[in-house]
Structure 1
């Protein structure tokens, strides 16, 4: 609002711009253009909303020590994936005050030994604690995706995640967070790959992430997203979206290389199953495809 006033825009002007879909109200008093908002990924949208709420809290007279973003809100600012859409902004106190819950945000009590850090000028809890918080709020799969990203990026270790978990004690969502840390693996290269790994293991198909496939002579052929343990089935996630250019058009040369790669994998005797974000939402379909591929591999 202050910036709008400096540009000569009144509250009435802003409401009119929102009504005409020129601006989007991120939170009360904070606006962005419809074009920027529409183009933003869910993580970016939540990061913008979280920044606005945190700035409001920092200006409150009854909050002398400003809080830090936490849980999924800190994860969004850290650039971690969010498989679930947060409904509220999560913050953690940096003083000894009590927790608070309002319609648009949750202010958590300070955790013992909390260290905060600034990310693009915004105070946040560390990445490992943020990822653990994602699991607390959004469950196992979302937590694994966030923790996989933390480990893959090398910004924290699994030991650090376990240390934060021990401090959480009996907090809500700790069991899901424990399971997420246990299942996390820094070899994962995308949140959908993490999602597929969790789902397949829940369905009873143990998998190995990012294995290298070799010829009997020890020559490298390919590295794949997932391989079913004890079988000749590999799983690739995200489909052709990996091979699209900025205009969404398949790059012919890249697609040709991928087809050659797929033939080389099949020549080793593997069956290939592909999933994208939509198909991973159909559990029965996932099971059918895996069972069919397993059957074909056994009949070879």
Structure 2
């Protein structure tokens, strides 16, 4: 995750011209004000990722807060470099150990934590809720899909479901929130390879399809073909989620051109189709797995029966 540089004038700076230069640059449209006295280069911010933008907001807000606040919820997700669905909220989220109830400020969302004991980790100079606490916070507050994406990623980093359930048991949330969080933890799977795969797996379950095996290895006479995203063994169907990142991201291409990646994917798929136990390969995208998308119908056409 990159880090946008946040500009500002230190408190007590004797040169009033420094602040004036920043204000003038903002008026010319060169800088974007995140908080009073804290700016980023507008053009850089415009091309930054959601995580990079929110990290800049954290850098603009946190140095001016009291030292006992702990970065939490979606802001902790960003600092841990965990995935998130959609736009990241603009307000920086923190736990406030001095408050029982939450408080919303201009750029800060405080969550009351007077009755909680949280041992933070430190990332980039900030106290942050650890992975287990962050995941449960998200599971209790965010939509189910978002929770699954975060929980899958946390499990992939080595946190166990038992640790997550133990953290949930230490809380006293409303019964409905607790039940939903427990269901999310139980459904989560650290083998999911991307947010798209997490959302796709949830969509299959919501539509009544049997749970697929994740990251199943297939081999032929030449050796390892690869791991597939979803394997519906009873139907003999492989489903691959195509998030397009593999074609656009230079690091994921491993020095190959997008055209070479497409060709390699075609050759890989041909090898998969030649495996006797595989009847067919289905490729889906974000549009297919979103509500109203064609993925359920395509799975049925491929021969995957819904559970009765």
TM-score by length of 2: 0.81
Deviates more, 1:170-179 or 1:221-230: 170-179
Distance apart, 1:12 and its partner CA: 4.9
Aligned equivalent of 1:266: 273
Judged with a 3 Å threshold, the aligned counterparts in structure 2 of structure 1 residues 201 and 96 are, in CA distance, closer, same or farther, namely same
Match of 2:212 among 198, 207, 224: 207
Judged with a 3 Å threshold, the aligned counterparts in structure 2 of structure 1 residues 9 and 246 are, in CA distance, closer, same or farther, namely farther
Quick check: 1:179 aligned with 2:171?
no
Q: Contact 1:116–1:124 at 8 Å: present in 2 too? A: yes
Deviates more, 1:36-45 or 1:117-126: 36-45
Deviates more, 1:244-253 or 1:159-168: 244-253
Judged with a 3 Å threshold, the aligned counterparts in structure 2 of structure 1 residues 201 and 106 are, in CA distance, closer, same or farther, namely same
Match of 2:201 among 197, 201, 205: 197
Gaps of 5+ in 1: 59-64
Q: Contact 1:212–1:224 at 8 Å: present in 2 too? A: yes
Equivalences, count: 288
Quick check: 1:79 aligned with 2:81?
yes
Distance apart, 1:239 and its partner CA: 4.4
Aligned equivalent of 2:144: 140
Distance apart, 1:157 and its partner CA: 2.3
Q: Distance in 2 between matches of 1:273 and 1:9?
A: 62
Aligned equivalent of 1:288: 297
SS of residue matched to 1:32: strand
Q: Distance in 1 between matches of 2:122 and 2:302?
A: 48
Judged with a 3 Å threshold, the aligned counterparts in structure 2 of structure 1 residues 53 and 260 are, in CA distance, closer, same or farther, namely same
Quick check: 1:34 aligned with 2:42?
yes
Judged with a 3 Å threshold, the aligned counterparts in structure 2 of structure 1 residues 11 and 283 are, in CA distance, closer, same or farther, namely same
Aligned equivalent of 1:119: 123
List per-residue Cα deviations over 1:196-239 (Å, max 9, x = no partner).
Answer: 11111111122222112346x9x643311112352222221234
Q: Contact 1:68–1:123 at 8 Å: present in 2 too? A: yes
SS of residue matched to 1:168: coil
Aligned equivalent of 1:61: none
List per-residue Cα deviations over 1:78-110 (Å, max 9, x = no partner).
Answer: 111111424332111234654323354321122
Q: Distance in 1 between matches of 2:15 and 2:189?
A: 49
TM-score by length of 1: 0.83
Q: Contact 1:23–1:33 at 8 Å: present in 2 too? A: yes
Q: Contact 1:128–1:147 at 8 Å: present in 2 too? A: no
Aligned equivalent of 2:4: none
Q: Distance in 1 between matches of 2:242 and 2:15?
A: 44
SS of residue matched to 1:225: strand
Quick check: 1:256 aligned with 2:263?
yes
Gaps of 5+ in 2: 1-7
What CA RMSD, in Å, does the superposition of the two structures yield over aligned residues? 3.0
Q: Distance in 2 between matches of 1:2 and 1:176?
A: 45
Distance apart, 1:50 and its partner CA: 2.7
Greater helix share, 1 or 2? 1
